[in-house]
C-alpha cells in the first residue's frame, strides 16, 4: 500500500507537491517525511547513482524516479509490488509534466503545486488493491521491468551524502590552511630578510649621517 507521496525539484530540493492525506494512518509519519526530505537534499547535491531507485527504510521502501529535474517519490509497504509502485510514479510524472511542466523551473515557494494532491489521491486509489484486474494486468506487463532497479539501505544512501560532505569540508579546510601557511611563510621570509640586512642598513645610515654632519660643520 502507498503510504507517502512527495514531489521535489532535484536542483535545489524544493518540495513541489505532496499527498495531503498521506501519513494519517502511519506511525512515525513525520520521521519518514523527514527522511524523504533528507533524500531530496542529497539528490540536490548530486548524490544519486541512478534515475530510478528503491531504498529500504524500516518496514517500508522508498521508491523514486527522476525525470526532467524532478524527483517523484513514494513510500510503500515492503509487501507492495515494486512494479506497481514505479508505475504509480510514472502516472504521476506524466500528469505533473503535462499540467505543470513549463512552471517547474520558475517555482519559488515550497508546495507551489499543492493542488496536484487531487490527482495524487485519485491515482493512489487506483493502486490501492493489487488484485484488481487493472493492477494484475500491470503486474503481468512484460514491457515494464523493474528487476534491474537498484535497491539500497536508507542509512547507506544518506551516509554517502554525509561522507561526501565531510570530504568536501576537509578539502576546503586544507585549502584554507594552505593559504594561511603560505601567508605565514611570506611573513617569516620578510622577517628573516629584515634581520639579515637591518644591521648593514643601520651602519650605512650612521656613516651617511656622520658624513653629512662633517660636511655641515666644515
List b or e across 64-93, with b for residues whose CB sees 16 or more CB atoms inside 10 angstroms: bbbbeebbbbbbbeeebebbbbbbbbebbb
**pLDDT(62) > 90:** yes
19-61 per-position pLDDT tens digit: 987 767 778 888 899 999 999 998 888 876 688 999 999 899 9
Looking at domain 2-165, what is its CATH homologous superfamily? Longin domain (3.30.450.50)
The pTM of the whole model exceeds 0.85 = no
Q: pLDDT tens for residues 91-142?
A: 999 999 999 989 999 999 999 999 999 999 999 999 988 888 888 888 887 6
Which secondary-structure segment (H or E) carries 99? Answer: helix 82-100
Reported as a single tens digit per residue, the pLDDT across 151-161 is 888 888 887 54
Q: How many helices (H) and strands (E) does the chain have?
A: 5, 6
Q: For residue range 149-204, what is the model confidence (pLDDT) as tens digits?
A: 888 888 888 875 444 444 345 445 544 543 444 455 456 556 666 776 777 778 78
Amino acid at each position: 500500500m502507498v503510504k507517502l507521496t512527495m514531489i521535489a525539484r532535484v536542483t535545489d530540493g524544493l518540495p513541489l507537491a505532496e499527498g495531503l492525506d498521506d501519513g494519517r494512518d502511519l506511525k512515525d509519519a513525520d520521521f519518514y517525511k523527514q527522511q524523504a526530505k533528507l533524500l531530496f537534499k542529497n539528490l540536490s547535491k548530486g548524490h544519486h547513482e541512478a534515475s530510478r531507485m528503491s531504498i529500504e527504510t524500516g518496514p517500508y521502501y522508498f521508491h523514486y524516479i527522476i525525470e526532467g529535474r524532478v524527483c517523484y517519490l513514494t513510500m510503500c509497504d515492503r509487501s507492495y509490488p515494486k512494479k506497481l509502485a514505479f508505475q504509480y510514479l510514472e502516472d504521476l510524472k506524466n500528469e505533473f509534466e503535462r499540467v505543470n511542466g513549463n512552471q517547474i523551473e520558475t517555482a519559488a515557494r515550497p508546495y507551489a503545486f499543492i493542488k496536484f494532491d487531487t490527482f495524487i489521491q485519485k491515482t493512489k486509489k487506483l493502486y490501492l488493491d493489487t488484485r484488481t484486474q487493472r493492477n494484475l494486468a500491470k503486474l503481468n506487463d512484460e514491457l515494464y521491468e523493474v528487476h534491474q532497479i537498484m535497491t539500497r539501505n536508507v542509512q547507506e544512501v544518506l551516509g554517502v551524502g554525509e561522507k561526501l560532505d565531510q570530504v568536501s569540508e576537509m578539502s576546503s579546510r586544507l585549502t584554507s590552511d594552505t593559504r594561511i601557511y603560505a601567508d605565514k611563510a611570506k611573513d617569516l621570509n620578510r622577517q628573516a630578510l629584515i634581520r639579515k640586512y637591518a644591521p648593514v642598513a643601520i651602519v650605512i645610515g650612521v656613516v651617511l649621517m656622520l658624513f653629512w654632519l662633517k660636511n655641515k660643520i666644515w
